[in-house]
Amino acid sequence: MKIVCLGDSLTAGYNVTREESWVEILNRETPDTWINAGISGDTSTGMLVRLRTEVLAQKPDMVLYMGGDNDIMITGSIDQAKSVVMAVLHQCAERGIRPVIGIPMPILDIPQQWQVLCDLPRTQEQGNEYVSWLRRFTAALSLRKVDFAAAFHEGGGARELYLADGMHPSPEGHRIMAEAVKRAFYH
């Protein structure tokens, strides 16, 4: 089976080696082919644009989509992120490709230089609301999901699961993410 993982820096593997990223761990430890279509800093709109040309063109069996955090950080709102989830879902379904929704882990902090762009408490509040909405959405439509937020919570939500920026997963965080995918796909 071929699964394309469409996302932002949480999928791309920001500031970790390729071998440490959750997508590469899955390539080594599962029988399926996992393709990393993550781009650091991408918004949900950017991912939607890339869906046809970079993802669906590869004719995957599944698309694991996780995006929206950058939208929330920039706009302080979950509205665009929610709209894109629906669009990705329908474009995949139209082509007979099974969508899987990734539920992002919480943001603990943001780098100082980014604080001029976003309000951390508002970002965290909207991020939590988005996670709750994704859980309700996937349940209502009986969609497969990978709940990375729950996996990080079960892992103690410890600072060690994040890089120093408080946003991106550390190598240990990527291991937790890979294990969450394995539970969702193989158990």
pLDDT single digits (tens) 87-128: 999 999 999 999 999 999 998 887 777 777 888 888 899 999
Counts of helices then strands in the chain (DSSP H, E): 8, 5
Q: Give the CATH number, domain containing residue 161.
A: 3.40.50.1110
How confident is the model at residue 111, as a pLDDT? 76
Q: Do 72 and 130 contact (CB within 8 A), yes or no?
A: yes
Using one digit for the tens of pLDDT, what is the confidence trace for 138-147? 999 999 999 9
Closest C-alpha to 155, from 136, 179, 133, 131? 179
Please give the sequence-ordered ranges of beta strands (E in DSSP) within 55-171, or none if there are none.
62-66, 98-103, 144-147
Sign of the Cα torsion 101, 79, 128, 132 reads negative
Sign of the Cα torsion 112, 44, 181, 5 reads negative
Give me the residue label for tokens 């820096």: 9
How confident is the model at residue 102, as a pLDDT? 98
How confident is the model at residue 77, as a pLDDT? 86
Q: CA angle, corner 47, sides to 12 and 170, nearest 5?
A: 20
81: containing domain: 2-186
How confident is the model at residue 17, as a pLDDT? 96
Number of domains observed in the structure of the chain: 1
Give every residue of the chain whose pLDDT is below 70, as ranges.
Answer: 157
* Chain Cα centroid distance, residue 89: 14
